[in-house]
Amino acid sequence: MELLCFTRHCIKFMCKLLLFLLVLCLWIPREVVGRTGTTTISNSTDSYSRPSVLRIGALFTFNSVIGRSARPAIMAAIDDVNANTTILPGTKLEVILHDTNCSGFLGTVEALQLMENDVVVAIGPQSSGIAHIISHVVNELHVPLLSFGATDPSLSSLQHPYFIRTTQNDYFQMHAIADLVEYYRWSEVIAIFVDDDNGRNGVSALGDALAKKRAKISYKAAFTPGATKSDISDLLNGVNLMESRVYVLHVNPDSGLEIFSVAKKLGMMTSGYVWISSDWLPSVLDSLENVDTDSGVMNLLQGVITFRHHTPDTNLKKSFISRLKSLKDKDTKNFNSYALYAYDSVWLAAHALDVFLNEGGNTSFSSDPVLHNRNGSMLHLSSLRVSNGGQQFLQTILRTNFTGISGQIQFDMDKNLIHPAYDILNIGGFGSRRIGYWSNHSGLSVIAPEVLYQKPPNTSTSNQQLYSVIWPGETTKIPRGWVFPNNGKPLRIAVPNRVSYLEFVSKDKNPPGVKGYCIDVFEAAINLLPYPVPRQYILFGNGDTNPDYNDLAYQVSQNNFDAAIGDVTIVTNRTRILDFTQPFMESGLVVVVPVKRIKSSSWSFLQPFTAQMWCVTAAFFLFVGTVVWVLEHRHNTEFRGTPRQQITTVFCLFAHQCLAKFSSSFAGENTVSTLGRLVLIIWLFVVLIINSSYTASLTSILTVQQLSSQIEGIDSLTSGNQPIGIQEGSFAKKYLIDELNIAPSRIVTLKNPDAYIDALTRGPNNGGVLAIVDELPYVELFMSNTNCKFRTVGKEFTKSGWGFAFQRDSPLAIDLSTAILQLSENGDLQKIHDKWLLKQDCVVEFSDDESYKLSLSSFWVLFLIIGIACFIALTVFFIKVMCQYNKFNPDPDEEHGDDKVQVQPARFKRPMLTTSFRELMDFVDKREVDIKDILRRSKKRRRNQNSEDTLGEKTCS
């Protein structure tokens, strides 16, 4: 492509060079037409004085939309400059006008004749084609060329250093159009343009601008300058057969209305069409004498959006337009924006000349040694002379800064006017309505650019804003911007000709020739679209094997089909060449293995708990039994007796009471003490939960299905070297080889579900496969149809979905995505799924026994609670015992039944620390009834003793 573009530029340059040489050969010097006076220019460079008269040239087509506005403006500017005593004092400007007559050849001849008059600066031309050629001339003669009408973005400052554009560059206008296209979310446009330098280069800039917005020009409709009405009709007829309905019209002001006239007759100005015009259209409309009298013109333009050069609405501008309208010898009743730029171009030259002369600039001319007559040639090349101060004058122009009628006149580094801006107009009724502005400072906005220049730049998408538009057909609904091509060809839809899993998509004898889940989803989505979709289903595949889906995607990308409908998985390599809709079915690769029911072993009763859980439970049985024995030993006769009997109570009787007599224990029939009952109630609550959990876990273990292999997921499958089965035509093969590095020799292609069953049943040792890797929708249907004899292991190791595939940038993909979401929201998608795929659900069972075992982590809080309860009960019990023991001491002289206890007054009691451990244990082992009886007799004896002591004291006294 780069070589082709370079060749085209070379050919273009050679053609211009040949044209230039041809003009030189035919050029015969004659008197300059349109000279308004005589000038005297000193040819001597030795003695220089400020000139009294300076010539400037003007080159444009007088009888044109732009020329009729520009000529009065240029003459008015000359008069204003000469009347202004602060600009060029003592020097008068003289203008020389040349008419290009809308001809590239004549325009070039006129330009060469203009250069013969030693003009210090040239105003024009309005034609970009002539500007390309004349720019080479002014470059050689060092004469600045101020063009108020050549908007071609390819007129660069590097190639044409003496070309200065005093109007807006079409580069910015094309970016404004691209922003408008993005604002309304259109992806394709058709460019209609005149096949000249301005048209081609402007559309090229539009294509670059659209590419930055992820849009494009789908077709470039070019017609020759001066094309007949019949040629334009043929062009628009061809355009009307295409998909896009967004037309960008970039033509000349003098012939543009003819296109709308033809489009009106062809019915292309109705609802659904979008017409965007460049700034040529406002130039025509602004020049109309009266909109009401030109109602026929306005009827052609209803709903059109157009761009106009933005110029601030100042009093200076209003007074100038009013002044031009008052002229008697003008060729037009109204004036467009080019009149403002032409007026400011003259003032730009005047300001620059004033500064240039004040700085001692040289306005003289000298002969160019390169331009001289050879071999008796009659070309008179010596009449073309070089401006001696041209380079310095050029730099003066570029640094000039003033405010003109069109706004601020100042140039950036690329010699473009700063602050490019456009008004965006919507034509309707008998006039136009401004719906917003565009500037490179803030993009689309409803606020005037002068206001936004005071704020930081902001061209973000969220900041873009326009007023509502009345589109062709007098509708306010935004056109979608495309239709199906009106060429009699339906949409060619490829459908996989499957031999397995026919529930998803298959061949049908009845129209439309295909059926299945995917077809019903597509038809339901199509029915939700607000427009008809002519379509033709074409089976893809030989019908003997499942087709290669990667090949199917490639055929769509090569325009052999318009779309692919079916169980097409959205994967990376396909999204690079196709556009997919929103997924209508979730999918992903899973591993399938056979299952079998394993008989329970004789030790299955141990499986519900882990070893740690068994040990802790047994330990707490003993611990709680011991605590209850301690608490009940002094109160309950069942917890007394020989050591052997008491150990039996702890290990046997207590466990039996906890597990078999929960109700009676809870009622308190076997416990006497309050602390013992409290501990036992909490412990029985813990035992109840553990017992229930044990029962539930044991039930699950005894009924579980387990794998016949050791495969637990994709990781364990890839680590071996046994064969793996995949579905024929699936992308799984490429994924396993490229992404998981599985050897191709391990992969076995299987044709249908029967082959799945056979391969999995025989296993890897008998010519079968260890497992099958396939997409989840197929696997769910396969397991359901085989009575759940197979199951998946692990999780989905890819996440994707099924979608409808279209060619790149197809707008139908976006509309169908919206329709699929609507089907999902209203429940129709689920209804279609149930119609085709509602089968027996297989409950996924896990083979890992450890997943059923209950560990200590599930019950540690319960054990903590019972442990705290036992600790508190024991603490209260021993505090009570120690208080009793602090009051009593054994005495061999006093007996009570089988026990001998001597009560010693408090003042004779021995300290507790001196009591032997054996005595303490004997005290603890006594029954609570005996302790209370001794306590009672002790209190009575102390009371009697105190009475005797009192009586003896009285007797002594």
pLDDT in tens, 156-183: 777 889 999 999 999 999 999 999 999 9
Evaluated on CA atoms 67, 71, 72, 77, the torsion sign reads positive
Vertex 232 angle, CA 68 and 222, to 5°: 85
Which tokens sit at 292?
A: 């009401």
pLDDT of residue 365: 86
Residue 893: pLDDT band (50, 70, 90) is very low
pLDDT over threshold 70, residue 506: yes
Q: Which residues pair with 493 in a beta bridge?
A: 537, 563
Q: Which residues pair with 147 in a beta bridge?
A: 165
pLDDT of residue 846: 40
Lowest model confidence (mean pLDDT) among 213-222, 446-455, 713-722, 923-932:
923-932
Phi, psi of 482 (to 5 degrees): -160, 160
Residue pair 491/535 in contact by the 8 Å Cβ criterion:
yes
What mean pLDDT do residues 417-423 have? 94
Sheet containing 145-147: order of strands: 92-99, 53-60, 121-123, 145-147, 163-165
pLDDT over threshold 50, residue 3: no
Exposed, middle or buried by CB within 10 Å (0-12, 13-18, 19+), for 765? exposed
pLDDT mean across residues, the chain:
81
State pTM to two decimals. 0.68
Sheet containing 431-439: order of strands: 216-223, 188-194, 246-250, 274-277, 305-309, 421-428, 431-439, 443-445
pLDDT of residue 951: 63
101: left (phi over 0), alpha (psi -120 to 50) or beta: left
Distance between CA atoms of 567 and 517, rounded to whole angstroms?
9
pLDDT over threshold 80, residue 724: yes
- The closest alpha carbon to 81, from 398, 457, 352, belongs to 352
As a whole number of Å, the end-to-end CA separation of the chain is: 142
Structure-model confidence comparison of residues 518 and 31, the more confident one: 518
H helix runs in 41-169, sequence order: 65-83, 104-115, 128-141
pLDDT of residue 597: 59
Q: Which residues pair with 680 in a beta bridge?
A: none
Return the amino acid letter for 755.
A
pLDDT of residue 907: 38
What mean pLDDT do residues 110-132 have? 87
Structure-model confidence comparison of residues 244 and 606, the more confident one: 244
What mean pLDDT do residues 58-73 have? 90
Residue 913: pLDDT band (50, 70, 90) is very low
Give the helix/strand (H/E) hosting 174.
Answer: helix 170-183
Lowest model confidence (mean pLDDT) among 455-469, 541-555, 636-650:
636-650
pLDDT of residue 729: 87
Phi, psi of 899 (to 5 degrees): -105, 145
pLDDT of residue 917: 63
pLDDT in tens, 523-562: 999 999 888 888 999 999 998 999 999 999 999 999 999 9
The torsion angle over the Cα atoms of residues 111, 113, 119 and 125, rounded to 10 degrees, is -10
Residue 870: pLDDT band (50, 70, 90) is confident
The torsion angle over the Cα atoms of residues 198, 203, 205 and 211, rounded to 10 degrees, is 180
The alpha carbon of 317 is separated from its chain's Cα centroid by a whole number of angstroms, namely: 45
Residue pair 934/902 in contact by the 8 Å Cβ criterion:
no
What mean pLDDT do residues 866-885 have? 80
Q: Which residues pair with 217 in a beta bridge?
A: 189
pLDDT of residue 329: 74
pLDDT over threshold 50, residue 118: yes
List Cβ neighbours of 900 (8 Å cut-off, separation of 6 or more): 890, 891, 892, 893, 894
pLDDT of residue 898: 43
pLDDT over threshold 60, residue 478: yes
pLDDT in tens, 381-416: 667 788 889 999 999 999 999 999 999 999 999 899
3-class DSSP assignment, residue 943:
helix
Lowest model confidence (mean pLDDT) among 110-114, 150-154, 176-180:
110-114
- Cα→Cα distances 839→505, 833, 871, Å: 17, 10, 59
The torsion angle over the Cα atoms of residues 822, 215, 488 and 263, rounded to 10 degrees, is 110
- The closest alpha carbon to 297, from 265, 262, 260, 270, belongs to 260
Lowest model confidence (mean pLDDT) among 288-297, 657-666, 834-843:
657-666
pLDDT over threshold 80, residue 213: yes
- Cα→Cα distances 344→73, 129, 404, 409, 937, Å: 9, 23, 6, 8, 131
List Cβ neighbours of 213 (8 Å cut-off, separation of 6 or more): 178, 179, 181, 182
Residue 114: pLDDT band (50, 70, 90) is confident
pLDDT of residue 709: 58
pLDDT over threshold 90, residue 54: yes
Helix axes 828-837, 811-826, angle to 10 degrees: 80
What is the 3 state secondary structure string of 362-419? CCCEEECCCCCCCCCCCCCHHHCEEECCHHHHHHHHHCCCEEECCEEECECCCCCECC
- Across 2-6, 18-22, 699-703, 803-807, the highest mean pLDDT is recorded for 803-807
Task: Give the max Cα distance, the chain.
Answer: 180
pLDDT of residue 249: 96
pLDDT of residue 948: 66
Distance between CA atoms of 218 and 210, rounded to whole angstroms?
11
pLDDT over threshold 50, residue 908: no
pLDDT of residue 317: 92
Residue 912: pLDDT band (50, 70, 90) is very low
Exposed, middle or buried by CB within 10 Å (0-12, 13-18, 19+), for 946? exposed
Give the helix/strand (H/E) hosting 165.
Answer: strand 163-165
pLDDT of residue 465: 93
Domains of the chain as residue ranges with CATH: 53-167+320-409 (3.40.50.2300), 170-312+420-463 (3.40.50.2300), 491-586+810-836 (3.40.190.10), 604-660+675-698 (no CATH), 710-799 (3.40.190.10)
- Across 10-14, 463-467, 622-626, 840-844, the highest mean pLDDT is recorded for 463-467
| Tally of CB atoms within 10 A around 453 | 15
Phi, psi of 896 (to 5 degrees): -140, 100
The pLDDT > 90 percentage for the chain reads: 43
pLDDT of residue 451: 92
Residue pair 279/307 in contact by the 8 Å Cβ criterion:
yes
Which tokens sit at 70?
A: 């520009």
pLDDT in tens, 300-310: 999 999 999 99
